[in-house]
Every structure is written in structure tokens, then in C-alpha cells.
Amino acid sequence: MAVQQRRHLKSLFKRNKDWAQGMVEKDPDFFLDLSKQQTPEYLWIGCADSRVPANQVVDLKPGQVFVHRNIANVVVHTDLNCLSVIQYAINVLQVRHIIVCGHYGCGGVRAAFEGREHGLIDNWLRHIKDVYRWHKDEIDAQPTEESKIDLLCEKNVIEQVANVCHSTIVQHAWRANQDLTVHGWIYSIENGLLKALDVEVTDTDQLSATHALKD
Ligand code: CO
């Protein structure tokens, strides 16, 4: 079984070699330059869904976007992984934009909406259930199950943008006058297009009084 698996994965190494060669043909110093430093301008926080690859959907090369992905693009204040990514992106890489990008038809959002048990992941999806509870009337008023889930996908992005902004890391950056904007986007798997949601935060003044840190 193990041998068979190795044989299968060989094709990935072949693809990798061809890809690396192609990149060097276009730009002989590409990897050499990248190996010296990374200076991405964007942090992308997206869903782990295989159909929403960060670099490809915005057509950016390696080195141009710092990426954190998890199921249903959730930002949790006790998630050391996500917080570390945000902290490193802001303090060390000095990214200027944080993009929380959800997508329509998100399986994680659907699972949270439907409420069937899926095991351990239910604990993660609880955060999306909270989003559903906060916007239940508006979501339930949608005509179809698909449109309800799509609206929950949008609301989830907006709430996760708020979670990014409410973090002490982001608020401290703004306090230090760092140029940083947090955006909420949603991607359509059906046509490959991104849409900016009506949420773009550039400083602490835009936060709710309950979450804005006092000086
Ligand atoms: Co998803």
C-alpha cells in the first residue's frame, strides 16, 4: 500500500519539477530573489476548501500573499495558530491589507447551518452557529436554503473581519499609526469571481465601543 502511494505521489514531484523549471524560464532569478526575503503586502485569511486557493484566485505569485486558511475562515480569539499568523504578518512582514475571504457554498458554513453532527469539527463550527444566531431573523427570511446559507457565508465573513479588528494585535498596530486595512470578501466557486462585502476597517474608531481598547 505504501509503495503504491509513493508511486502515485511521484506525479506531484514531476509536476513540481516542471513548474519550478517553468518559473525559472520566465525569470531566472525568481527563486533566488524569493529565497532572500518575503515582502507580501497582503494577509489572506480564507477557507481551507481546495477550490479557493488564495494565490490563484487573485493571480499572485509566491511571495506576494501571506496565507492562513482553516475550515470556514474563522478567526477565534483563543486560536494561537491564527493569532500568530496575524501577529507575524503585521509586526514582522508589515502587511498593509488583511483580507478575510469566505466563499459561497462553504461546506463548513452549511454544516453549521444544518446542525447535523460531524464529530470534533462541531466545536469549531460552533463559532458559525453563533453568527447564525446573531443574524437569524434576516437569514431565515431568505427564500431558499441555498440563499440562507449564502447569506450566512457573508455574515460569517463580516463577523470574522470584526474578530480580526477586535484583536489586540490589530488595535495596537492602529494605535501605532501603522497603515493597515481589514477587508471582507466573498468568492463564488461557480464563476471564479470575488466580491467585496460592505466592510472595510482602517482604524479603531470604526469598532464597537465594547471592543475598542481604551487609551
Ligand atoms: Co469553505
Residue 151: its pLDDT value, please?
Answer: 98
SS3 content of the chain, % helix, strand, coil (to 5): 50, 15, 35
Pairing outcome for strands 181-187 and 42-47 = unpaired
CA–centroid distance, residue 101 to ligand 1 (Å): 10
Residue 191: its pLDDT value, please?
Answer: 97
Same domain, 198 and 123: yes
Domain count, the chain: 2
Query: How far is 175 from 118, CA to CA, in rounded Å?
Result: 41
Query: Known catalytic residues?
Result: 47, 49, 51, 103, 106
Alpha helices, DSSP H only, in 135-167? Answer: 136-140, 145-166
CA–centroid distance, residue 139 to ligand 1 (Å): 18
CA–centroid distance, residue 187 to ligand 1 (Å): 10
CA–centroid distance, residue 110 to ligand 1 (Å): 9
Q: In the structure grid, which three cell numbers stand for residue 47, read together?
A: 477557507
Asked if residue 45 lies in contact with residue 164, where contact means CB atoms within 8 angstroms, the answer is yes
Query: Going edge to edge, which strands form the sheet with 97-103?
Result: 65-70, 42-47, 97-103, 181-187, 194-201
Query: How far is 132 from 155, CA to CA, in rounded Å?
Result: 8
CATH of residue 44's domain is 3.40.1050.10
pLDDT tens by residue, 140-195: 999 999 999 999 999 999 999 999 999 999 999 999 999 999 999 999 999 999 99
Average pLDDT over residues 52-58: 97
Question: Which structural domain range is residue 25 located in?
Answer: 1-36
CA–centroid distance, residue 214 to ligand 1 (Å): 35
Same domain, 18 and 117: no
- pLDDT band at residue 37 under the 50/70/90 scheme: confident
- pLDDT band at residue 4 under the 50/70/90 scheme: low
Same domain, 199 and 123: yes
Answer yes or no: is 144 within a domain.
yes
Same domain, 75 and 28: no
Same domain, 67 and 156: yes
